[in-house]
């Protein structure tokens, strides 16, 4: 990077064109990165000898040219072909701190160009765990100073100086620092030591190198990227919870609606029909029991649900009322007996009829002994009486059920 006032350069060019007396050129500045090449500009059609020297010591010559050839010191280059074209620039192949200076380009005895060369400040980011040592490189000749600025401070403070290979530090740093030229060591760094450490050339008032230190607490063991990942996971989890809270009520309502529809369908399947035969009545009785079971299950499932418990309770009450009405219709219709119960009654009736038939036909059959005939008739009579008692008992139980169903139906209707 080179800077020079355009007014100075124009004035210098006009002066040099119309006069022959030696002139003093304006000083331009050039900044270069450490160890990179840099070209010091100087353009002028010189018919005589050209040389590059130190501005404050013309006896130190880095390069020279004439009409026949050019020569230069190691680390410096100048092109004879370019010289013949009027380009007298000097190239420094690898700039370091020893080459920082002000250079002069001269044509015969006239100063054509003056360039001040400086090295760009080196900035190094350093991350380490607590308890480690920080090494600060002193890349320039002494004297230098070390300036520390914490993360929370806008201003820095001098903590150490190096003069004639002697290290002097503030009291709180004396026991932690040591000099092993060309390095300063700061031992046992802690998170509180995080900040910037500047190595400044006090003779030239230039910042040579800046170390930005970040010390990780070893006890925490969580790097910055780990914290970022944890935060992202927490955000993703929070987003999922918010989505669930928004969708869950809707999903619960859909689930309840489907359950209500399923129970309602089972109740309708238990509805009696006059065209039903014995087998259909038996199947309908099973449907009644299945519907009752699902109603109980649904009511128990939502008994603790503050949002839907009342709605489910009212629904279940209405469905039970429907089932009681169907059960009443079964009892009032002749075909409304369950198949198992009807078959039992019919079997008992048939046995009674068979016994009576045997008694009627006994006179025409072969005569048996008086004692045996009496015994057989007693057994038949007992059997008939037993069946008749069971039939009467069953009919009595059905009458009680009928009355209960009628009362329940009336209560539900009210």
Please give the CATH architecture assigned to the domain spanning 122-216.
Sandwich (2.60)
- Say how far apart CA 105 and CA 39 lie, in whole Å: 12
Q: In degrees, to the nearest 5, what angle opens at C-alpha 196 toward C-alphas 192 and 200?
A: 135
Angle separating helix axes 309-332 and 278-301, nearest 10 degrees: 160
- Say how far apart CA 327 and CA 331 lie, in whole Å: 6
Question: Do the two domains 2-119 and 122-216 of this chain adopt the same fold?
Answer: yes
Tell the residue number behind the tokens 């070390």, with chain if given.
Answer: 146
Once rounded to an integer, what is the mean pLDDT over residues 322-345?
59
pLDDT bucket at 96, cuts 50 / 70 / 90: very high
Lowest mean pLDDT among 203-207, 228-232, 317-321, 370-374: 370-374
> H helices of 122-223, where?
171-174
- Say how far apart CA 132 and CA 218 lie, in whole Å: 10
pLDDT bucket at 224, cuts 50 / 70 / 90: low
In this predicted structure, the answer to whether residue 357 has a pLDDT above a threshold of 80 is: no
C-alpha separations of 142 from 16, 117, 163, 176 in Å: 40, 19, 6, 21
Q: Which two tokens stand for residue 165?
A: 């290979």
Q: Which residues pair with 167 in a beta bridge?
A: 162
3-state SS, residue 134: strand
Q: Minimal CA–CA distance to 177: which of 197, 160, 190?
A: 160
Once rounded to an integer, what is the mean pLDDT over residues 68-75?
95
3-state SS, residue 164: coil
What is the tens place of the pLDDT at every residue in 257-301?
Answer: 888 898 888 888 877 765 544 555 555 677 888 888 889 988 888
User: 23 — alpha (psi -120 to 50), left (phi > 0) or beta?
Assistant: beta
What is the tens place of the pLDDT at every residue in 101-141?
Answer: 999 999 998 899 999 999 999 999 999 999 999 999 988 87
CB 187 within 8 A of CB 178: yes
Q: Provide the pLDDT for residue 344.
A: 57
CATH topology of domain 2-119: Immunoglobulin-like (2.60.40)
CB 37 within 8 A of CB 95: yes
Q: Minimal CA–CA distance to 91: which of 107, 105, 106, 112?
A: 105
Sheet of 177-180, strands arranged across: 134-137, 183-186, 177-180
What is the tens place of the pLDDT at every residue in 359-378?
Answer: 666 544 444 445 555 666 67
Q: Provide the pLDDT for residue 120.
A: 94
pLDDT bucket at 308, cuts 50 / 70 / 90: confident
Q: Minimal CA–CA distance to 260: which of 225, 297, 289?
A: 297
In this prediction the pTM is 0.47
Once rounded to an integer, what is the mean pLDDT over residues 382-405?
76
Q: Could you give phi then psi for residue 200, rounded to 5 degrees?
A: -115, 130
Q: Mean pLDDT: which of 177-181, 230-234, 374-378, 410-414 is highest? A: 177-181
- Chain centre to alpha carbon of residue 204: 51
Check residue 327 and report its DSSP letter: H
Q: Which two tokens stand for residue 220?
A: 């925490």
Domain residue ranges in the chain: 2-119, 122-216, 227-335, 337-362+372-413
**Would you mind telling me the total number of residues written for the chain in this entry?**
414
C-alpha separations of 93 from 32, 40, 72, 409 in Å: 11, 11, 12, 111
- Say how far apart CA 12 and CA 87 lie, in whole Å: 17
Q: Could you give phi then psi for residue 390, rounded to 5 degrees?
A: -65, -40
Q: DSSP assignment of 258-309, as one string?
A: HHHHHHHHHHHHT---TT--HHHHHHHHHHHHHHHHHHHHHHHHTTT-TTTH
Q: In degrees, to the nearest 5, what angle opens at C-alpha 201 toward C-alphas 196 and 203?
A: 150
In this predicted structure, the answer to whether residue 147 has a pLDDT above a threshold of 70 is: yes
């Amino acid at each position: 990077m080179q800077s020079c006032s355009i007014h100075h350069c124009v004035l210098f060019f006009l002066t040099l064109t119309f006069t022959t007396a030696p002139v003093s050129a304006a000083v331009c500045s050039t900044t270069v990165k450490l160890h990179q090449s840099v070209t010091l500009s100087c353009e002028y059609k010189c018919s005589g000898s050209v040389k590059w020297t130190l501005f404050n010591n013309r006896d130190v010559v880095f390069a020279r040219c004439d009409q026949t050839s050019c020569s230069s010191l190691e680390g410096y280059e100048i092109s004879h072909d370019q010289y013949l074209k009027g380009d007298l620039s000097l190239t420094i192949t690898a700039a370091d701190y020893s080459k920082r200076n002000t250079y002069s380009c001269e044509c015969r005895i006239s100063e054509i160009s003056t360039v001040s060369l400086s090295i760009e400040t080196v900035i190094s980011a350093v991350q380490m765990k607590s308890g480690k040592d920080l090494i600060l490189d002193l890349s320039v000749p002494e004297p230098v100073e070390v300036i520390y600025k914490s993360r929370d401070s806008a201003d820095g403070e001098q903590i150490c100086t190096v003069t004639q290979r002697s290290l002097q530090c503030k009291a709180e740093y004396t026991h932690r620092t040591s000099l092993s030229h060309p390095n300063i060591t700061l031992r046992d760094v802690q998170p509180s030591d995080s900040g910037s450490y500047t190595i400044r050339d006090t003779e030239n008032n230039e910042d040579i190198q800046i170390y930005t230190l970040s010390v990780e607490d070893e006890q925490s063991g969580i790097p910055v990227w780990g914290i970022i990942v944890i935060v992202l996971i927490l955000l993703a989890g929070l987003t999922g919870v918010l989505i669930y809270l928004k969708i869950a009520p809707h999903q619960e309502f859909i689930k309840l609606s489907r359950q209500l529809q399923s129970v309602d369908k089972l109740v309708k399947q238990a509805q009696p029909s006059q065209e039903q035969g014995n087998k259909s009545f038996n199947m309908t009785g099973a449907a009644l029991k299945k519907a009752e079971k699902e109603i109980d299950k649904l009511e128990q499932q939502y008994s603790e649900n503050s949002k839907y418990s009342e709605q489910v309770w009212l629904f279940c009450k209405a469905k039970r009322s429907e089932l009681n009405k169907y059960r009443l219709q079964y009892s009032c219709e002749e075909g409304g007996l369950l198949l198992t119960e009807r078959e039992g009654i019919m079997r008992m009736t048939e046995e009674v009829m068979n016994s009576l038939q045997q008694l009627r036909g006994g006179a025409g059959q072969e005569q048996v002994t008086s004692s045996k005939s009496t015994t057989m008739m007693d057994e038949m009579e007992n059997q008939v009486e037993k069946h008749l008692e069971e039939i009467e008992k069953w009919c009595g139980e059905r009458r009680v059920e009928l009355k209960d169903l009628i009362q329940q139906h009336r209560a539900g209707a009210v």
